[in-house]
Amino acid sequence: MKESRNVESFSLDHTKVRAPYVRLAGRKVGPKGDVVTKFDIRFCQPNMEYMPTGGIHTLEHLMAEYVRDELDGVIDLSPMGCRTGFYLTVFGEQDEESVAARLRNVLSKVASWPDAEAVPGVDPVMCGNAADHDLAAAKKWATAWVAGIDRKGWSCF
């Protein structure tokens, strides 16, 4: 196994975590004292399951739109390349429990998204792969995330 000197998630033992969860994955202080925190928002049990591209893409659009209504200081929400979750980067000292509570609101909204209602940004002008979306899959993963957090809590263990 090749070690990494630079990437936080490469030092996480992905065989020990229990998805879904919210985990603080990084904290940086800028030269002017601003704090930025980064969270690992996991949906799938690593190396057991993963989201198909259409589903994670639609989930990204819906979460990106609504997480900013719930949480102040959102810098970025991006899917992980392994397609088992997202990284959420925010300004300020935010904690896992409150981020999980805000995300639960966002994902409850996604889970009950009306099938007939357009997903924000699904358009060749606003999206780089507007053909690759799957609302049913996004709703399924959102529902599973909320149910999992309600059952086991937000912790990764």
From CA 31, how far away is CA 27, in angstroms rounded?
13
**Residue 130 Cβ, how far from Zn ion at the closest point, in Å?**
7
Quick one: 48 or 125, whose CB is closer to Zn ion?
A: 125
Dihedral sign (CA 9, 19, 59, 131): positive
The torsion angles phi and psi of 87, rounded to 5 degrees, stand at -105, 135
Read off the tokens for 87.
């990284």
From CA 77, how far away is CA 90, in angstroms rounded?
9
**Residue 44 Cβ, how far from Zn ion at the closest point, in Å?**
20
Local structure of 38: helix, strand or coil: strand
Quick one: 121 or 153, whose CB is closer to Zn ion?
A: 121
**Contacting residues toward Zn ion, per CB under 5 A:** 127
**Residue 133 Cβ, how far from Zn ion at the closest point, in Å?**
8
**Residue 151 Cβ, how far from Zn ion at the closest point, in Å?**
30
Quick one: 75 or 126, whose CB is closer to Zn ion?
A: 126
Quick one: 25 or 132, whose CB is closer to Zn ion?
A: 132
